[in-house]
């Protein structure tokens, strides 16, 4: 197989640097399945890795990209054969293992999901880790008895990938949704996705008491820090908060009072590693009854591999909106 193009992260002294390299299959981390990559996508983690703003890679040099979709080129695992359409999200790809921002990927069979009927290869990447994570939050909250009658779901970081898809999913499932955003200029986008209310995060009174007036039925939090602290104080009795991200800060300065006086639950969301049955089940939901209705609004742009560094810079600056799909190769 001839050499191919890859966006790799290198360690240069104490910093990291993204470079376009021409590499061969033998340069990739080990795995049973070789995939001709059709599409990848950009998540916050990819943006941190590519800009060097966060240490995401374990080992260097490493191909970036935690998501990919494409067609199996060869497989030494009997569950897959050449020509199968597949997707991969998380599973340490683009972190400890070489990722999806390259024309070929080689991954463990345990990471590979057959492309569900109902999704194209590009739609799978419009969803990507962001969609999978939002679906995991919905699943965990439903399992912990979240119902629409409990009140609106607050979604933070709503103009981002996870937040945008979360708005769509919760709305479809009958919940009222409030988008708490730092970008009021995106209010019409958020309403188009299904937000019933758009709240300006910069003017919101976060309060300081262990319990403030209960306002939200539950919450999907992508920010952490003071925003997550605020949510613990303002979610109504028995409400759930899905803790997904740390775009604001990794800290949480709250008390146990919301948990013991309101029965609030803080649910951890970890999309990288989860039981395979959950992974297959959530992708099936995303391809069918939970398929976002606004996917084309959320992911309107498809960029090339060369454009990835510039879009990653927009993402870490908090200026991006929705999801970005990266077209890698082939005629798909």
Return the number of the residue (184 or 261) whose C-beta is nearest ligand NAP: 184
User: Residue 206 Cβ, how far from ligand NAP at the closest point, in Å?
Assistant: 13
User: Residue 269 Cβ, how far from ligand NAP at the closest point, in Å?
Assistant: 5
Return the number of the residue (151 or 182) whose C-beta is nearest ligand NAP: 182
Closest CA to 126 of 331, 324, 328, 284: 324
Return the number of the residue (52 or 245) whose C-beta is nearest ligand NAP: 245
Q: How far apart are CA 314 and CA 302, in angstroms?
A: 15
The residue at minimum Cβ distance from ligand NAP is: 160
Closest CA to 112 of 63, 167, 71, 145: 71
Closest CA to 32 of 101, 107, 100, 90: 107
Return the number of the residue (37 or 155) whose C-beta is nearest ligand NAP: 155
Return the number of the residue (75 or 234) whose C-beta is nearest ligand NAP: 234
Closest CA to 33 of 112, 126, 145, 127: 112
User: Residue 197 Cβ, how far from ligand NAP at the closest point, in Å?
Assistant: 14
Task: Please tell me what DSSP assigns to residue 59.
Answer: S
Distance of CA 281 to the CA centre of its chain: 17
Return the number of the residue (85 or 138) whose C-beta is nearest ligand NAP: 138
Exposed, middle or buried, 84 (CB in 10 Å: 0-12/13-18/19+)? Answer: middle
Return the number of the residue (23 or 134) whose C-beta is nearest ligand NAP: 134
Sites of contact with ligand NAP (CB under 6 A): 43-45, 129-130, 133, 157-163, 181-183, 201, 222-223, 244-248, 269-272, 315, 318, 320
User: Residue 223 Cβ, how far from ligand NAP at the closest point, in Å?
Assistant: 5
Return the number of the residue (33 or 223) whose C-beta is nearest ligand NAP: 223
Q: How far is CA 257 from CA 215, 229, 234, 268, 296, in A?
A: 16, 12, 11, 19, 42
Task: Please tell me what DSSP assigns to residue 234.
Answer: H
Kindly give the pairing relationship between strand 85-89 and strand 218-221: unpaired
User: Residue 127 Cβ, how far from ligand NAP at the closest point, in Å?
Assistant: 12
Cβ neighbours of 276 (radius 10 Å): 11
User: Residue 40 Cβ, how far from ligand NAP at the closest point, in Å?
Assistant: 13
Instruction: Give the alpha-carbon dihedral of 237, 238, 239, 243, to 10 degrees.
Output: 120
User: Residue 142 Cβ, how far from ligand NAP at the closest point, in Å?
Assistant: 18
User: Residue 139 Cβ, how far from ligand NAP at the closest point, in Å?
Assistant: 13
């Amino acid at each position: 197989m001839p050499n191919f193009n890859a966006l790799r992260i290198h360690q240069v002294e104490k910093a990291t640097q993204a470079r376009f390299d021409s590499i061969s299959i033998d340069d990739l981390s080990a795995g049973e399945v070789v995939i001709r990559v059709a599409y990848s996508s950009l998540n916050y983690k990819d943006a941190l890795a590519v800009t060097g703003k966060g240490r995401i890679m374990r080992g260097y040099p490493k191909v970036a990209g935690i998501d990919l979709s494409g067609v199996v080129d060869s497989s030494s695992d009997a569950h897959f054969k050449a020509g199968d359409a597949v997707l991969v999200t998380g599973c340490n790809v683009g972190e400890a293992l070489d990722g999806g921002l390259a024309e070929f990927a080689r991954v463990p069979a345990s990471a590979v999901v057959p492309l569900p009927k109902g999704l194209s290869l590009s739609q799978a990447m419009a969803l990507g880790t962001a969609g999978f994570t939002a679906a995991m939050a919905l699943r965990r909250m439903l399992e912990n008895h979240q119902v629409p009658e409990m009140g609106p779901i607050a979604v933070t970081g709503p103009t981002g990938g996870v937040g945008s898809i979360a708005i769509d999913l919760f709305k479809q499932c009958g919940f009222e949704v409030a988008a708490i955003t730092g970008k009021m200029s995106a209010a019409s986008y958020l309403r188009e996705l299904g937000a019933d209310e758009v709240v300006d995060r910069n003017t919101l009174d976060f309060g300081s008491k262990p319990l403030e007036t209960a306002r939200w039925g539950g919450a999907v939090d992508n920010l952490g820090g003071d925003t997550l602290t605020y949510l613990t104080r303002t979610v109504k009795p028995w409400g759930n908060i899905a803790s997904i991200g740390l775009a604001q800060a990794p800290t949480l300065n709250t008390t146990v009072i919301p948990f013991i006086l309101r029965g609030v639950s803080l649910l951890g969301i970890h999309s990288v590693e989860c039981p395979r049955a959950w992974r297959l089940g959530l992708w099936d939901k995303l391809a069918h009854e939970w398929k976002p209705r606004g996917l084309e609004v959320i992911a309107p742009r498809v960029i090339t591999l060369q454009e990835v560094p510039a879009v990653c810079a927009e993402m870490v600056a908090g200026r991006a909106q929705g999801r970005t799909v990266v077209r890698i190769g082939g005629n798909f």
